[in-house]
Chains A and B, each alone.
Chain A
Amino acid sequence: MKTPDVTAALADKKLQLAIHTATGRMAERRREIVAQGVMPDYQDIRQHAHNLKKHTLENLDYYLEQLERNVEARGGKVIWAKDAAEACAFVQKLARDKGVKVIVKSKSMTTEEIGLNEHLENDGVETVETDLGEYILQLAGEKPFHIIAPALHKTKEDVSDIFERHLHSQPESTPEGLTMIARKALREKFLEAGLGITGANFLIADSGAVVVVENEGNARLSCSAPKIHVAIGGIEKLIPRAQDLGVFLRLLARSATGQALSVYTSFLAGAKRPGEPDGPEEFYLVLVDNGRTKLLADESKRQSLYCIRCGACLNHCPVYRKIGGYNYPWVYSGPIGKILTPQFKGLHDDPWVPFASSLCGACGEVCPVKIEIPRILLELRADVKKDEGASVERFGFQVWAWLMRHPKLFGRLGSMGTSTMNMLPAVGPLKNWLSQRDLPESPKQSFRDWWKKR
């Protein structure tokens, strides 16, 4: 089974320190703010959020129709995009029709997923990422490393270098100074842009509203300064009522960064109303399927769609914390990426994905909506193996299972000590074990032999 080449990432001491520190800090802050003494109802709220998501997805058609009615009632337009191409095509056409030359956008994993920026750039529309981490990466031509902290692998020297090369700025040695360079450059773009794109942390059915959560203010600017606001959200982002939002807000920032609330939570119900001095004049909501209905159909794994993109699972995953976001095959990394990727992309391209886990369960423990990630990983593993058919490994396990049903033989073979190791399928696993650690010593007798003699 092909596995990713993680050697470089593991050997990069700078990278290891950056990942370890950043994820460690986010995990520590989360721990503090959901502690029993600080948020005594944390477990109850988690379960409630899980229940709300379950109910919403089980009745998703109803809630999507309600959302659409409410968006349209206030003059907004809903675009149903069955795949990435359709979603991108809509935005491209809108930009063309409205003569938009500059677009500002806030951080949205969904827009990463559909490859929106590349499509717009091809049309000659300048599409500017305005979240600081995303902006840095856009200038550098790289992808996000982490759902919440996209540039956590970049040092301040890296950032100064990137700004010098692409913005022709002076070398700057402090994060404060670098941030101000970005602020100034992006301020111009916010005020110039003809269209602003945001993602959607939540979609609220009874209000026809999009909720965008952020710390910097770039999302607020993206949806308030330009004349046109386009919100792009996966169909799974729905929650039933505005009155349900509080439950999710109480979980999201705490789980992501250990804040009680992110700095800005914007509840956006369409274009500006008469009497409001500013705000967008046109509002479009693009609902993205792109495979979500496929996941929805698998009742046992449907929970994968509950994700509110907090990043807590990444911060607690011992595997992610070693290999970082670039060693996963798709835009979603970490444990959530491990369960989404095979379901969206199929089992064939990167069958290793659900196996890249020690099943420690830390992810499931911290997921704010109680997605049973370890259980789903196990099911995906079974799916991969069922799909694979005959193999040396399967044969090995069939022999193993046969042996396990023949205790006398099992006992006799085992009494040969470490030569039992040679019963493992192929030399490969044994070689792999020895590449990292020693084998246990060979015991003088097995337990069952001792028991017989006592």
Chain B
Amino acid sequence: MRVSLFVTCIVDQLFPNVGIAMAKVLERAGCELEFREGQTCCGQPAFNTGYRDEARTVAEHFLDVFEGAEHIVVPSGSCASMIAHHFAELLPADKRAHAVETQVWEFSQFLTDVLKIDDFGAALDATATYHDGCHSLREMKIKAGPRKLLEKVRGLKLIELDPPEECCGFGGTFSVKFPEISGSMVRSKVDAIERTGASTVISTDPSCLMQIQGALTRAGSKVRTMHLAEVLASR
């Protein structure tokens, strides 16, 4: 199976290990990988801030770069959702913008729904909790998939967050336009994480992980964040 990686701008520049882990997992599963160098961003930051014209040009660039790609795999629910659900809105006359909805896959969904593999021989000795990123959860409908994958990770004990399904407070530019509210939200998330006693927080969204890790570090916590791909790549 040929897979075209869209690692996302944030993974490319800030969290390359997530992309590296994703590549490793997909190769172990027998996929043939390509990385189209023209890739940059999905345009979500501009789109969410109301700058549709700017978002449109970036979306168009994406479609140019990924022309002809059959399976575009993305280690981010929010980026995958931007591409799958909003490109058509930005470029209604562009057939590619509509077709891309079925071509783009969030990483965990690709594993469970396309490859239909849930065991990657992963091992991670840790007590962990899982954060459902809002776009992954509510726009991509990702909930059971990552948990199924994590169940197969040897040595991993998963404890659910209480309350579940709470936003981490990132929301793109929301995090810097309304820093106090964003900060208060992530601190509630950190409290919930600490209540589980977990040493690790796992998610499918790098931006959520960046927000949560930033707050954990600020609070002097030893808890670390890991992307699902990094967990599945662990041996």
Chain A interface residues (CB < 8 Å from chain B): 1, 3, 6-7, 10, 24, 318-319, 322-323, 352, 355-362, 364-365, 378, 381-386, 393-394, 397-398, 400-401, 403-405, 407, 410-411, 414, 420, 428-430, 432-433, 435-440, 443, 445-451
Contact with A along B11-39 (1 / 0, CB 8 A): 11111110110010000000000010111
A381 touches B181 (CB 8 A): no
Query: Which chain A residues lie closer than 8 Å to B46 at the CB level?
Result: 397, 400-401
B13, B183, B186 — most chain A CB neighbours (10 Å): B13
Specify which of B37, B51, B180, B218 is in contact with A6 (CB 8 Å cutoff).
B180
Question: How far, in whole Å, are A187 and B7 apart by their CA atoms in the complex?
Answer: 67
Chain A interface, >50% SS class: helix
User: Whole-angstrom distance from the CB of A451 to the nearest CB of chain B?
Assistant: 5
Q: Are A447 and B16 also in contact (CB < 8 A) when A356-B178, A385-B50, A438-B217 are?
A: yes
Question: How far, in whole Å, are A208 and B179 apart by their CA atoms in the complex?
Answer: 49
Question: How far, in whole Å, are A6 and B177 apart by their CA atoms in the complex?
Answer: 13
Q: Are A450 and B20 also in contact (CB < 8 A) when A360-B134, A436-B180 are?
A: yes
Please list the 6 inter-chain residue pairs (A to B) with the smallest Cβ-Cβ separation, ordered nearest first. A358-B171, A436-B183, A437-B214, A381-B50, A385-B50, A360-B167
B13 touches A397 (CB 8 A): no
Question: How far, in whole Å, are A451 and B4 apart by their CA atoms in the complex?
Answer: 13
Nearest residue, chain B, Cβ from A408: B37
From 123 to 174 in chain B, residues with beta carbon under 8 angstroms from any chain A beta carbon are 134-135, 137-139, 163, 165-167, 169-174
Query: Which chain A residues lie closer than 8 Å to B166 at the CB level?
Result: 318
Chain B interface residues (CB < 8 Å from chain A): 7, 9, 11-17, 19-20, 23, 35, 37-41, 43, 45-52, 54-55, 57-58, 61, 65, 134-135, 137-139, 163, 165-167, 169-186, 210-211, 213-215, 217-218
User: Whole-angstrom distance from the CB of B3 to the nearest CB of chain A?
Assistant: 13
Question: How far, in whole Å, are A451 and B11 apart by their CA atoms in the complex?
Answer: 13
Q: Are A397 and B16 also in contact (CB < 8 A) when A360-B134, A407-B40 are?
A: no
Specify which of A24, A323, A448 is in contact with B37 (CB 8 Å cutoff).
A448
Query: Which chain B residues lie closer than 8 Å to A318 at the CB level?
Result: 166-167, 169, 185
Q: Are A440 and B181 also in contact (CB < 8 A) when A361-B138, A365-B138, A447-B20 are?
A: no
Specify which of B13, B58, B186 is in contact with A405 (CB 8 Å cutoff).
B58
B15, B19, B50, B165 — most chain A CB neighbours (10 Å): B50
A381 touches B215 (CB 8 A): no
Q: Are A435 and B183 also in contact (CB < 8 A) when A404-B40, A447-B16 are?
A: yes
A398 touches B40 (CB 8 A): no
User: Whole-angstrom distance from the CB of B26 to the nearest CB of chain A?
Assistant: 13
Specify which of B45, B49, B175, B181 is in contact with A319 (CB 8 Å cutoff).
B181
Question: How far, in whole Å, are A397 and B54 apart by their CA atoms in the complex?
Answer: 7
- Please name 13 further chain A to chain B contacts, defined as beta carbons within 8 Å, in addition to the given A358-B171, A361-B139, sorted by A numbering: A322-B184, A355-B50, A358-B170, A359-B135, A378-B48, A384-B50, A397-B51, A401-B57, A436-B180, A436-B218, A437-B183, A439-B214, A446-B12
A405 touches B57 (CB 8 A): yes
A414 touches B13 (CB 8 A): yes
Query: Which chain A residues lie closer than 8 Å to B178 at the CB level?
Result: 3, 6, 319, 355-356
User: Can you give 28 A-B contacts (C-beta < 8 A)?
Assistant: A10-B181, A10-B184, A319-B185, A322-B184, A352-B177, A356-B181, A358-B171, A358-B175, A359-B134, A359-B135, A359-B172, A360-B171, A361-B134, A361-B137, A362-B134, A382-B51, A383-B50, A401-B51, A429-B176, A432-B175, A433-B214, A437-B211, A438-B214, A440-B14, A440-B213, A443-B13, A443-B15, A443-B16
